[in-house]
Amino acid sequence: MDYWAKGCGLPRGGWYSVGVVALFIVLPFVYGNHDLLFNMMMYLALAQGINVLFGFTGYLPFGYVGFFGSGAYGASLAVLLLHLPPVLALLVGAVIAVLLALLLAPLLRLSGAYFAIASLAASEVVYYIVSNPHLESLTQGPYGISLARAYDADASYAAMVVVLALAFGVVVYLRNSHLGLALQAIREEPVSAEFAGVNVVRERTCAWLLSAALAGLAGGTYAWHVSVFYPKSVFDLNISVFAIVFTLFGGVATLLGPIVGTLLLYGLYNWIGISQPEYFQLVFGIVIVMLVLFLPNGLASLLRRVNVHVP
């Protein structure tokens, strides 16, 4: 498939991106559960956002939901307070997420578990600020936000298709660019990368901001789609956990890995997790343990063992 992509002027992995996006454009006409399709696209986009940061730089953000929630609130308040149309408000949500990432950029001086825990703590701080009842006049406090007058399920679904395409585009670009190679060099050995002429701080910050922007866009589109939400629902740690597990299950630093991981595990969640959550937790736990023990690099590593190219 990469051969044909090259022949048509697409970079490696381009056809996979086009195929998945086209699938979600067609599926609403043949499958009635549009909310399920929307949520699956949302997690596909978030998984690629995790992939941009962790897959290419090695930084695992447990608090990734902070960018998602800030995007949801940024877009919603732009509609309510600035009276912007929802499409423009999504850009405001992305900008808010990027500004938050810039504010938290000093966290990149940490590494490993210290960075993961610090990012989680930062997202909790943002959550408590947003849900503070004393800020009700600005953020609506803990009482939730209603975008009922802007509700448009079809338009928000189309917006999430665009967000998904952007997420794929970012990863395809990183897989085929000097920036992506520089980021992977930083992930493997930052000191050696710096001696080789890579601007470690700048490139790492770039990945951080790109990842935040994708989460902010996804959060804003989610807020538009559900129209009514509470702070806890958009700052729910499970959003980070699901996106991280989906990405690791499929394989990081690839385009296809997070796609496969999300489709399989989110499909499993909707098969048994909603009706029988106690069984899902058991199965989900077993899957994670098996992954850590036998496939620490995800399903992508299994495909490589049988000489299958993974874009």
State pLDDT tens for residues 144-177. Answer: 999 999 999 999 999 999 999 999 999 999 998 9
The pTM of this model reads: 0.93
Given a cut of 90, whether residue 22 has pLDDT beyond it is: yes
Question: What is the predicted pLDDT for the residue at 306?
Answer: 59
Given a cut of 90, whether residue 228 has pLDDT beyond it is: yes
Given a cut of 50, whether residue 7 has pLDDT beyond it is: no
Cβ(211)–Cβ(52) below 8 Å: yes
Place 4 in a pLDDT band, splitting at 50, 70 and 90.
very low
Percent of the chain, pLDDT > 90? 66
Question: What is the predicted pLDDT for the residue at 307?
Answer: 56
* Cα–Cα dist 286/189, whole Å: 32
Structure tokens at 34: 């549009």
Please state which of the ranges 33-47, 213-227, 266-280 shows the lowest mean pLDDT. 266-280
Q: Tell me the average pLDDT across 255-270.
A: 90
Given a cut of 60, whether residue 3 has pLDDT beyond it is: no
Question: What is the predicted pLDDT for the residue at 310?
Answer: 63
Place 6 in a pLDDT band, splitting at 50, 70 and 90.
very low
Place 229 in a pLDDT band, splitting at 50, 70 and 90.
very high
* Cα–Cα dist 157/176, whole Å: 29
Given a cut of 70, whether residue 2 has pLDDT beyond it is: no
Average pLDDT along the chain = 89
Backbone angles phi, psi at 189, to 5 degrees: -160, 90
What's the residue count for the chain?
311
Structure tokens at 210: 């790109």
Cβ(56)–Cβ(200) below 8 Å: no
Q: Tell me the average pLDDT across 100-126.
A: 95
Q: Tell me the average pLDDT across 180-185.
A: 90
Q: How many CB atoms lie within 10 A of CB 308?
A: 10
Please state which of the ranges 9-18, 63-72, 225-234 shows the lowest mean pLDDT. 9-18
Closest C-alpha among 275, 276, 273, 274 to residue 287: 273
Question: What is the predicted pLDDT for the residue at 1?
Answer: 45
Structure tokens at 147: 């975008």
| Burial environment of residue 103 by CB neighbours within 10 A (0 to 12, 13 to 18, 19 or more) | exposed
Closest C-alpha among 55, 51, 49 to residue 68: 49
SS (H, E, C) the chain: CHHHHHHCCCCCCHHHHHHHHHHHHHHHHCCCCHHHHHHHHHHHHHHHHHHHHHHHHCCCCCCCHHHHHHHHHHHHHHHHCCCCCHHHHHHHHHHHHHHHHHHCHHHHHCCHHHHHHHHHHHHHHHHHHHCCHHHHHHHCHHHCEECHHHCCHHHHHHHHHHHHHHHHHHHHHHHCCHHHHHHHHHHHCHHHHHHCCCCHHHHHHHHHHHHHHHHHHHHHHHHHHHCEECHHHHCCHHHHHHHHHHHHHHCCCCCHHHHHHHHHHHHHHHHHHCCCHHHHHHHHHHHHHHHHHHCCCCHHHHHHHCCCCCC
Q: How far, CA to CA in Å, does 231 sit from each of 125, 140, 160?
A: 12, 9, 21
Question: What is the predicted pLDDT for the residue at 5?
Answer: 45
Closest C-alpha among 61, 52, 112 to residue 241: 61
Task: Tell me the domains of the chain and their CATH numbers.
Answer: 2-305 (1.10.3470)
Q: What's the pLDDT tens digit per position in 79-99?
A: 999 999 999 999 999 999 999
Q: Bigger pLDDT: 94 or 112? A: 94
| Burial environment of residue 286 by CB neighbours within 10 A (0 to 12, 13 to 18, 19 or more) | exposed
Please state which of the ranges 14-28, 111-125, 143-157, 283-297 shows the lowest mean pLDDT. 283-297
